[in-house]
Amino acid sequence: MKEIVFVTSNRSKFEWAKERLEPFGIKIVHCNLELPEIRDFNVEKVASAKAKQAYQILKKPLLVEDRGFYVEALNGFPGPYINLMHKTIGIKGLLKLMIGEKNRKATFISVLAYIPSGDEIKLFREVEEGFVLDKIIDGDCRGWGDIMKIYGHEAFPEKALSQLSDKEWRDYQKIISERDYLSQFYLWLKDRL
């Protein structure tokens, strides 16, 4: 079984990767490293920089994931600065910025960076289209952060992801897993195992 370290402080990201990749013979080991993030609006550059920093410390094959939440009406804000947005204006502030906006389109762009050696890096990009609701809907964010209280997906047009039932959550996970970065990574890696 091939072993790869997944560097993340988000336990939910790790559990999702482990659940998805271990059936394919890829053992995922969790490593919680605090890595400084470069300031860039491009999530690919942020993920690449974090992967290189982590490799300099661990010196072994690893994965790093980073994501951005791009709200079309706000010229892409908050982008990869989701954590900063949460710590400053929060989701209430984001909704205030959206008052009167008809365009509610929002996109999650997630990038998985795989670095097997110090001189090689491979990026896998996932794009998920959705929308910003006009109010906060409390519920279970399943470890993914408060953004799930204001974000909806086309499969559930009237709901925030936080209010999905367990069955709806599994359906949502199935929908996104068909084209997510973990599927892309596995398909690329299986030819190299």
For residue 1, what pLDDT is reported? 56
Distance CA 179, CA 164 (A): 21
Question: Per residue in 132-157, pLDDT tens?
Answer: 999 998 887 776 788 999 999 988 88
How many other CB atoms are there within 10 angstroms of residue 10's CB atom? Answer: 15
For residue 70, what pLDDT is reported? 97
Domain that holds residue 19: 2-190
Tell me phi and psi for residue 104, to 5 degrees.
-105, 10
Tell me the β-bridge partners of 114.
63, 122
Distance CA 192, CA 35 (A): 29
What's the CATH code of the domain at 67? 3.90.950.10
E strands, the chain, are 2-7, 26-31, 62-71, 78-79, 105-117, 120-132, 151-153
Catalytic residue (choose from 66, 134, 166, 191): 66
For residue 83, what pLDDT is reported? 86
Q: In angstroms, what is the C-alpha Rg of the chain? A: 17
Residues in the chain: 193
Name the residue with tokens 């072994």. Answer: 60
For residue 145, what pLDDT is reported? 80
Question: Per residue in 20-42, pLDDT tens?
Answer: 888 888 899 999 988 887 888 89
Burial of residue 52 (CB within 10 Å: 0-12, 13-18, 19+) is: middle
Counting the structural domains of the chain, the total is 1
Distance CA 191, CA 193 (A): 6
Name the residue with tokens 């609701």. Answer: 133
Low pLDDT (below 70) residues in the chain? 1, 143, 193
For residue 102, what pLDDT is reported? 95
Whether 66 is a known active-site residue: answer yes
**How does DSSP classify residue 134?**
S
